[in-house]
Amino acid sequence: MLERFFSPRSVAVIGASRKPKSLGHVLLKNIIDGGFGGDIFPINPRAESILGLKAYPSISEVRGHVDLAIVMVPSSIVLDITRQCGEKGVKGVVIISAGFSEIGNAKLERELAEEADRWGIRVIGPNCAGIIDTNSNLFATIESRIGRGNIAFVTQSGALGGAVLAWAANEGIGFSKFISYGNACDVDESDLLSYLSADKDTKVITLYIEGVRDGTKFMRVARDVSPKKPIIAIKGGLSKAGAGAVHSHTGAMAGNSRIYLSVFRQVGIIHASGIEDMFDMAKALVYQRRTPGHNVVVLTNSGGPAVMAVDELESLGLSLPEPSGEIRERLDFLPPFYSVNNPIDLTAQGDPEMYARVFRSLLSDGYYDAGIVICVPPLSLDAAEVAEAIVEVSKDIDKPIVACWMAGRLVERAVRILEENKIPNYPTPRRAAKALSVLMEKESMNPQPGSP
C-alpha cells in the first residue's frame, strides 16, 4: 500500500512557490534537480509557471492522473486540500504543513485522518520534512538531497532528519530511503518498518522515534522484521526533560525509557545512543555479514589505540583470547620484540607485507570469529599500501573485519580503498569496536519469544 509514495509516476506540489527561499520553492526545485522522471505539477493559484513548469490553480485542474501529492499550505486549509486530492483520485499524500497536535490542535489532526480515510488516502505527516527514494530519484523533501545507498532512515523529527542528511553527505553515507513521518496521523513507524522489510534497496533500517501510539502493533511488526533486516533505533526523550520536549515537538507521548529499551531488546531492535553510533553500526551491517561467536583479535601498530579498542570490546561482552599454540607457531617469523598476545602489536616497524601475513595467520582458521585492524602510520609508512594488503587478505577470509586507520588526511586514500572494498573504517578505536560488536550475533540481539 505504501509503494504509491516511493514509485509515483506523477507528483503534485501543492503550495509550490516562485519565492526562492520559500519551502514551496525549495521542495519543487529538489524534485526537479533530483532527476525525477515522472510528471511534476506545481499547484499555486497565483502563478502561471514555476521553475519552467506550468502551474495549476488547484489539483482539480491538473489533466491526467496524480499519484502523489506533497502539501505545504496553512493548516487551516489542509482539510479542504485533502478533499480535493480525494476527488482527484490521489492515494498518497505527504503533509509537510505544521499546526496540528504538536501545538495542541489534536482535533484538527483527527479530522484530517478521518477525511483522508473517507477517500482511501494514505497520509505521511503532518508536520514532517518529506520523503526521499534514491532509486526512483524522488527527492520530495525540504531537506538536502543525498546519495544512493542501502540504509533507510525513518525519523519522527524532520529537522533532525535534515541534519542527518547533511551529516551523512559529508561522511559519504548513502540512503535507499529517507522518510520523515512527523505526527503520524495515519502512516506510522510500524507501517514503514513493514514496508521497508520487503524493500530490495534497503539492507539496514535506521529509526529515530519519540513515541509510539500503538505499542502492540509496533512490537509485532518489529519482531517480524528484525530477523529479516537489522533495525537500529534511537529513542528520543529518554530523560524526564527530554520527554517533555518530545510532547511539544510532535505531540507524541515519550513513555517510560526503561520500557522502550526493554521492548527493543525483546523484539531484536539494536539501540543506538546517538546519530554517529547509529550510522557506524549501520555501515558495518551494510558492508559486512553478521556471524555467531565472541572471539575477536586486534592487530595494530600502536599500543594505545589497541588498548582503547580492547577496553571497549570487553565492555560490550566480547572475548579477546590470546592466540592458540597453532597460531603462535604461524607467527614465529615475527621478531621477539613484537607482542604476540592479543592485541598483536607490530609496532611502528609493521609494513604492508607484515600486516598481510600476520592478519592471514590470525583469521585463517576458526579460532577467532572477527578482527579489528588498526593503523596509525608513521611518516615512513604508506597507509594506502597497508589498506591494499588487508583488502587482499580479506578476499580469502569470510569473517567480519573492521578497520581503524587514524591520522586524518594522512589516511584519506587508505580509507577510500578500504571502504570501496566493503571494509568499514572508523576514526577511533571505540567506534570501530562498537561497530564490530553489532556484527557478532549475541543472544541479546535476537528477538525473544512470546506474544507482543
CATH superfamily ID and name for 143-287 = Succinyl-CoA synthetase domains (3.40.50.261)
Residue 258 confidence (pLDDT): 81
Residue 449 confidence (pLDDT): 38
SS3 at position 161: helix
The answer to whether the bond into 126 is cis (omega within 30° of 0) is: yes
For the chain, how many helices (H) and strands (E)?
Answer: 16, 21
Instruction: Read off the C-alpha cell for 14.
Output: 501543492
Tens of each residue's pLDDT in the chain, 452 residues: 899 999 999 999 999 999 999 999 999 999 999 999 999 999 999 999 999 999 999 999 999 999 999 999 999 999 999 999 999 999 999 999 999 999 999 999 999 999 999 999 999 999 999 999 999 999 999 999 999 999 999 999 998 999 999 999 988 899 999 999 999 999 999 999 999 999 999 999 999 998 898 999 999 999 999 999 999 999 986 555 444 444 444 444 445 778 889 999 999 999 999 999 999 999 999 999 999 999 999 999 999 999 999 999 999 999 999 999 999 999 999 988 888 999 999 999 999 999 999 999 999 999 999 999 999 999 999 999 999 999 999 999 999 999 999 988 899 999 999 999 999 999 999 999 999 999 997 543 444 433 33
Helix axes 303-315, 429-437, angle to 10 degrees: 30
Helix (H) or strand (E) segment spanning residue 314: helix 303-315
CA distances for 106 relative to 45, 99, 126, angstroms: 29, 9, 11
Residue 255 confidence (pLDDT): 57
Residue 152 confidence (pLDDT): 98
Beta pairing class for 175-180 and 204-209: unpaired
Place of cell 473517507: 118
Domain 289-441: state its class. alpha beta
User: Where does the chain hold its CATH 3.40.50.261 domain(s)?
Assistant: 143-287, 289-441
Domain 1-126: state its class. alpha beta
Residue 206 confidence (pLDDT): 98
Residue 94 confidence (pLDDT): 98
Q: Which of 162, 177, 158 lies closest to 250, judged by CA?
A: 158
Instruction: Read off the C-alpha cell for 360.
Output: 592471514
User: Where does the chain hold its CATH 3.40.50.720 domain(s)?
Assistant: 1-126
* pTM over the 0.95 mark: no
